[in-house]
């Protein structure tokens, strides 16, 4: 089987042929390079119009045998570019008299990593210009476990480099200047497995304007931004129980990001894989490979249907080419020692000892500050939640210097492993109660809720919490929990309704209204 792939979501006109029998991919690409600033949609579309016929012809001239299908990037991306790709693919499929396959560009980034690594069901970090999100397979879809709440990681870096006066793409220039930089403090924002880059980019621009050497700003941008991406990746591994991580997207070219992710995986005993360079940026090879999987599963389009979707989210794609029993979440173990995303947790009789371990991937100064501050916050907010009536463990001891806490042992299992509508409804009530008291949990996932034999539901792990009176922050708390349900529960819709019902009983309706806005704020919605 041979599949011709055509890619052109934004800046790179690319064609490829995938030969399934030999598992080989021939790729030909022609990238658009703006003279100044970022990508200009009109100019990118003009480039696509001129370059696509040539790259397609080059690939077809080297194909040894018939083409069985034509796959194209259906979205997400720039509408004018996508429409040119769709028209090109439709014409090729008609000329060759073969089926058409519409591929989600972001799922292709994930699938090429899964294909090349041989992993069974990994978590995937997509880090590209317009995107940054974590995906895991669950219940027939790739679920978004976490994502940027404002801009893609590459675009965020490009905003700083345009401010400095550097041309597109900015990522390689930041990486080169970072080699001689020193660490300076910048904002570090993670909310569960979601994250935000707007604050750090504003601070980086201001630091540069205030005279901080650009090498220091570049070094610190990488340490903070890639540290955030690595931390949320570890959270996704911890939440789902997966021990496989793949990296995709153009920003994956950055050596420091790959180093951080590999170090994190080594430290927790997980496997890490990043495809070779030609599969990292926008390329038709990944479109052809996923197109072949979809074609083999009978997931094709009529030749007349080459409609594109600039806002095509990966979680909107029915995954027809994978077995239903390949969900990323695994069964829990029964060990008395549990490694979470941040800490090692040991059960000692009726007590729990939690130690935040140094993270070798993070800058030592940043790591020490985060571990100390989060340990102190966890003790304070756990006790505060208990005082306002939310079931939490008693805090017996706190040692900020070693980032160690001793708690009462509560519950019998994580909510992830024993989901129920009643338990989830309790979580909604508990979150409403702490929001009324003026703070958020920060990371209310199904692994940070314990359930007992008496069906009592406890909130644990307040390390990412903070005091706030903003409706936006309360809505984000609910959003984090909602994503964890989608990523770990079978048929989660009823559970998602239950948490809203519980919140509505005690909370502010304005928070639920804002939750709707937050849900629509993902990069592609």
Annotated catalytic residues are 443
Question: 171-178 and 153-164 are packed helices; what angle lies between their axes, rounded to 10 degrees?
Answer: 70
Residue 181 CA, chain-centre distance (Å), reads 28
For 508, the 3-state DSSP assignment is coil
Of 361, 320, 294, 319, nearest in space to 135 by CA: 319
- In degrees rounded to 5, what are phi and psi of residue 415? -60, -30
CA distances from 277 to 13, 179, 243, 301, 444 (A): 17, 21, 23, 30, 36
The structure tokens listed for 177 are 């200047």
CA dihedral 406, 484, 368, 212 (to 10 degrees): -160
Task: Name residues whose C-beta falls within 8 Å of residue 91's C-beta, 6 or more positions apart in sequence.
Answer: none
For 33-189, list the strands marked E by DSSP: 69-75, 100-104, 123-127, 132-138, 141-147
Give me the residue label for tokens 């570890």.
Answer: 234
70 in Cβ contact with 305 (< 8 Å): no
Going by their DSSP bridges, the two strands 132-138 and 141-147 should be labelled as antiparallel
Burial annotation 282-300 (CB, 10 A radius, 16+ → b, else e): bbbbbbbbbbbbbbeeebb
Name residue 28's beta-bridge partners.
15
Compute the residue count for the chain. Answer: 525
Nearest-5° Cα angle at 252, 275 to 277: 45
Q: What's the CA gap between 197 and 399, in Å, rounded?
A: 32
- By the 8 A CB rule, do 247 and 273 touch? yes
DSSP letter (8 states) at residue 130:
S
């Amino acid at each position: 089987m041979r599949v011709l792939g055509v890619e052109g979501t934004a800046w790179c006109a690319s064609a490829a042929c995938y030969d399934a029998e030999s598992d080989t991919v021939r790729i030909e690409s022609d990238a658009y390079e703006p003279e100044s600033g970022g990508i200009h949609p009109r100019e990118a579309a003009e480039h696509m119009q001129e370059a696509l016929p040539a790259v397609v012809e080059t690939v077809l001239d080297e194909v040894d045998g018939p083409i069985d299908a034509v796959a194209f990037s259906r979205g997400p991306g720039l509408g004018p570019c996508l429409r040119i790709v769709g028209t090109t693919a439709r014409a090729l499929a008609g000329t060759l008299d073969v089926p058409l396959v519409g591929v989600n560009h972001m799922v292709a980034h994930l699938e090429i990593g899964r294909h090349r690594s041989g992993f069974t069901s990994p978590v995937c970090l997509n880090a590209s210009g317009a995107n940054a999100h974590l995906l895991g397979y669950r219940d027939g879809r790739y679920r978004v476990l976490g994502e940027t709440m404002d801009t893609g990681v590459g675009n965020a870096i490009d905003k700083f480099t345009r401010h400095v006066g550097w041309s597109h793409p900015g990522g390689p220039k930041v990486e080169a200047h970072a080699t001689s930089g020193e660490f300076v403090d910048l904002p570090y924002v993670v909310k569960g497995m979601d994250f935000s880059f707007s604050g750090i980019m504003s601070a980086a621009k201001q630091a540069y304007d205030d005279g901080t050497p650009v090498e220091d700003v570049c070094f610190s941008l990488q340490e903070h931004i890639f540290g955030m991406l690595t931390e949320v990746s570890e959270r996704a591994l911890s939440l789902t129980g997966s021990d496989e991580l793949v990296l995709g997207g153009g920003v994956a070219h950055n050596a420091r990001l790959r180093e951080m992710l590999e170090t994190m995986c080594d430290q927790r005993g997980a496997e890490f894989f990043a495809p070779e360079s030609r599969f990292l940026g926008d390329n038709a090879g990944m479109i052809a490979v996923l197109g072949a999987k979809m074609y083999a599963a009978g997931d094709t389009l009529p030749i007349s249907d080459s409609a594109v979707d600039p806002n095509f989210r990966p979680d909107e794609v029915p995954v027809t080419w994978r077995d239903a029993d390949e969900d990323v979440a695994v069964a829990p173990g029964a060990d008395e020692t549990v490694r979470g995303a941040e800490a090692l947790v040991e059960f000692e009789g009726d007590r729990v000892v939690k130690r935040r371990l140094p993270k070798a991937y993070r800058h030592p100064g940043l790591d020490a500050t985060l571990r100390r501050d989060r340990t102190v916050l966890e003790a304070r907010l756990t006790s505060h939640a208990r005082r306002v009536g939310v079931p939490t463990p008693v805090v017996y001891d706190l040692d900020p210097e070693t980032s160690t806490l001793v708690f009462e042992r509560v519950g019998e299992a994580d909510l992830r492993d024993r989901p129920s509508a009643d338990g989830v409804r309790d979580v909604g009530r508990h979150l409403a109660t702490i929001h009324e008291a003026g703070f958020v949990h920060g990371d209310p996932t199904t692994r940070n809720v314990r359930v007992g034999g008496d069906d009592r539901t406890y909130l644990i792990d307040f390390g990412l919490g903070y005091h706030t009176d903003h409706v936006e922050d309360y809505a984000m708390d609910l959003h984090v929990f909602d994503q964890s349900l989608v990523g770990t529960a079978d048929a989660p819709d009823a559970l998602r309704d239950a948490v809203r019902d519980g919140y509505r009983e005690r909370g502010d309706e304005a928070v639920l209204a804002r939750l709707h806005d937050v849900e629509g704020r993902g990069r592609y919605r």
